Amino acid sequence: MTYFPFRCRFATPAGLVFAALALGLGGCSSLDRASAKVAAVVNPYSIEIVQGNVVTREQLAALPKGAPRAQVQAILGTPLLMSPFHAQRWDYAFTIKRQGMAPQSRHVTVVFNGDRLESVEADTLPSEADFVGSLRPPVSLPPAKPLEASPETLAKYPAPTPVPARPVPVATGAVSYPPLEPAAK
């Protein structure tokens, strides 16, 4: 019989369970690192999120100073924020978040004096053409090859001959159709 000068803590069944648990949790940390690496490579699809009102430079240029609220709303649309605590102020906000692109955010504040437009505070706004161009990411396609065929290539494929039209038979005499409603009794 061999004599051990120290006593092993893991010799009991509870100690063996503790050792297995410690080894298992040690493996989890390496699994966590591996799953983090996989998650960094694989990007799940995220939907495009568009919120608010798009306001362009052309719309702001169309706003005359002193315009009534109804005209401002007709040009810019319904404001995103109409606070009951700031009845003389309308806020138009716009954000768009797309996968693979930097989020866009713009803010326009319209201030009224009574029922008339007094001032407009706005971020740098794009023109309509710039905004529409920013909606689709640029696609780089190779230039299309011209569709040309030499006379020798065209001679290989003769033009199809037209099929003469067949005359459609015309029914002569009376044609009877079934009644639309049942006969009255």
For the CA atoms of 163, 165, 169, 170, the dihedral, rounded to the nearest 10 degrees, stands at: 170
- Is 90:122 a contact under the CB 8 Å cutoff? no
Q: Any bridge partners for residue 62, and if so which? A: none
Predicted pLDDT at 24:
62
The answer to pTM > 0.75 is: no
The C-alpha atoms of residue 55 and residue 94 are separated, in whole angstroms, by 8
> From the DSSP assignment, how many helices (H) and strands (E) are in the chain?
5, 4
For position 91, what pLDDT does the model report?
A: 93
Q: What pLDDT is recorded for position 73?
A: 92
What distance, in Å, lies between the first and last C-alpha atoms of the chain?
A: 115
Q: Tell me, what's the pLDDT at 15?
A: 67
H or E element at residue 73: helix 69-76
Phi, psi torsion values for 167, nearest 5 degrees? -70, 140
> Which pLDDT does position 81 carry in this prediction?
82
Q: Vertex 107, ends 102 and 112: CA angle to 5°?
A: 175
Strand order across the 89-97 sheet: 49-52, 89-97, 104-113, 116-122
Using alpha carbons, select from 87, 149, 142, 141 the residue that is nearest to residue 112. 87
- Would you give per-residue pLDDT tens digits along the chain (185 residues)? 555 555 555 556 766 677 666 666 665 556 677 777 777 777 777 788 888 888 989 999 999 999 999 999 999 999 888 888 888 999 999 888 887 778 888 999 999 999 999 999 998 888 888 888 777 665 677 888 888 888 898 888 888 888 888 887 776 777 777 888 887 76
Q: Cα separation of 93 and 139, whole Å? A: 29
Domains of the chain: 49-135 (3.30.1450)
Q: How far apart are CA 129 and CA 131, in angstroms?
A: 5
